[in-house]
Amino acid sequence: MRSPASELIVHDDAVRANTARFHELSAGRLMAVLKADAFGHGDIAASVLDAGAAAIGVTSIGEALALRARGISAPILSWLNAPASDFDAALREGIDLAVPNEELLCAIGRAAHAVGRTARVHLHVDVGTGRDGCSPRDWATLCALARAQEAAGAIRVVGVMGHMSCADDPGNEQNTRERLVFENALRTARRRGLNPRIAHLAATAATLTGVGAGFGMHRIGAGLFGIDPSHTVDDLRPTLTLTSTVVSAREAPAGTGVGYGHDFVTPVRTHLALLPIGYGDGLPRAASARAEVLVRGRRRPLVGRFSMDMVVVDTGDVLLDPGERVTVFGPGDDGEPTVSEWAEWSHTIEHEIVTGIGARASRIHHSVDTTTRQNPGEAA
């Protein structure tokens, strides 16, 4: 018997197919970005490595250490850390570290001396996003300090990285400006005596549009999970299906108010079904009054305001049975709503939808060969 809990099915075959596609686009120089629990997909590191990824990228050291604890031995880069982060542990586990400023470089240098290891670092330049990365005006100073740390044996600069701000719009002139900033940063690093063998500027959008080509490694996150921020290709495969279970169903006469505030009142006699999933599980409240689900092969609207733990489906002339499965979103092959549609209903991007599904939904990893379950909370 099925549990009333919701289930998030991770289509590992689709993840592998997308990874293979980006392995081809990057000529084998693919870093799989598995931040935020692999965009909400859970334990798929082995799948992307088997499909051609050469390295893994994450934001925090904690994410990197969790991958090492799972037995992942591939190169891992962590690029968003505060000066007080656990650099000692990162160096002991062979984690590469991104460096956007002098303070972080010095902190990593101290950790390297403390643990007796040379830190592998990627200097991070801000090419135009105005967020993480070293300002171009401070870049030469950072490179000089990095060279001094190299001479002291504390670090080795193995890479230079940046991130583009407008790569999803290939005609935007900002792309040209940011490429020039990155090229100049590489020249400056080499003039300061550094010899980074890895350069990486392109993420998913920059890879698909080509505006970030020519710099070696490609950092791909969203694309692995079927998301194209540039909306320029149609061959990426969706990787998630979210289902929930009917808890109860009832006949509702005309004039029945549903949910807080009675934003929806049944105009005619109908049937309503209750699903145990809500904004506490990642369904954006902004999608209230717009979203749909698939019920017995037909789309039905979600009505009333989303609650933290529940939503209501208007099933018209059909009375559902408790325990019936309802598809919230999926690849769209059977007419179910897609992640893209949910993003549109919620006035957001697909990234937010897939990363927002909470731990109460059991993760089920499915492929043609095997299906494995991940208990609620394991993916967090």
Helices (H), 155-254: 173-191, 204-209
Q: How far apart are CA 49 and CA 59, in angstroms?
A: 18
Catalytic-residue membership of 35: yes
Q: How far apart are CA 315 and CA 353, in angstroms?
A: 24
**Selected catalytic residue, list 11, 29, 35, 41:** 35
**Selected catalytic residue, list 3, 131, 254, 260:** 260
Catalytic-residue membership of 36: no
How many other β-carbons are positioned within 10 Å of the β-carbon of residue 50?
Answer: 12
| 267 exposure class (CB count in 10 Å sphere: 0-12, 13-18, 19+) | exposed
Q: How far apart are CA 224 and CA 26, in angstroms?
A: 13
Reported in sequence order, the residue ranges of the chain that DSSP labels E, i.e. its strands, are: 7-11, 30-33, 55-58, 76-78, 96-99, 119-124, 155-161, 198-200, 218-220, 240-245, 248-252, 257-258, 264-265, 270-275, 292-295, 298-303, 311-314, 325-329, 362-366, 371-374
Question: How many H helices and E strands in the chain?
Answer: 11, 20
Q: Which residues, other chains included, contact 26 with Cβ-Cβ below 8 Å and sequence gap of 6+? A: 207, 217, 218, 220
In contact, 353 and 41? CB cutoff 8 Å: no
Residues annotated as catalytic (active site), given as ranges = 35, 260
